[in-house]
Amino acid sequence: METLEETLGYRFINRKLLRQALTHPSLTAEAPKQSKDNQRLEFLGDAVVQLVLTEYLFQALPEDAEGRLTQIRASLVSRRALAECAQRLELGQWLHLGKGEEANGGRERESNLADAFEALMGALHLDGGISKARETLMKVMKESIEEVLEGEDTSNPKGRLQEVLQALHREGPVYRVVSEEGPDHLKEFVSEVLWRGKVLGTGHGASKKAAEMAAAGQALVEERWKGV
């Protein structure tokens, strides 16, 4: 794994953390006493990735509303986007898999790659601190961030979602408030967007509009309308 460390530009003090980050649960299921899987590190890494990207977008896009920031972040932390980052690091070749998962193409599986990438960020945070995790994440995700920021206009996800869905069926999306919490001056709304009876996305926001924008943004990323 020294080659991977060279790619990261960081040598782990605790090499066990690096191994754990790359250990799929299928291996521990077969040999539970020999190794720990990466699920706990994935849990931590998810928070690290969210924090680093949130801070970056907050500073890089000072004029953008919450809804757009949420939608951009959702694009960057989607399973597909994180799996692409893992592929840039060639994480697939370093995964420790059980025999069954190995035989079934586990090294190329999108979910395995995305999970391992988040676990790796969690391991970096524990071993080198948040600054090292931030440095590595921003280096690996530079291309993805540039593509999103230079791509199509994401300021109106509700309008874009409406266009996409009505091109498939005359029925448009429907939004509903799932929950509303907090005092009047500090409300948080959670909204869902549904289409033909299926929930396409969920979003949080300080207003109903912001929550709906975030839900539409997630729907555009997830594309759950396929097959409906």
Q: Does residue 127 have an active-site annotation? A: no
Q: Does residue 37 have an active-site annotation? A: no
Q: Phi and psi for 185 in degrees, rounded to 5?
A: -85, -5
Q: Are 44 and 158 in contact (CB under 8 A)?
A: no
Distance CA 68, CA 72 (A): 6
The catalytically annotated residue of 37, 42, 46, 66 is: 46
Residues 6 or more apart in contact with residue 160 via CB below 8 angstroms: 154, 216, 220
The catalytically annotated residue of 115, 118, 127, 212 is: 118
- The residue among 94, 225, 80, 90 whose CA lies nearest residue 166 is 225
DSSP assignment string, 82-114: HHHHHHHTTGGGG-B--HHHHHTTTTT-HHHHH
Provide the 3-class DSSP secondary structure of residue 207: coil
- Residues recognised as catalytic: 46, 118
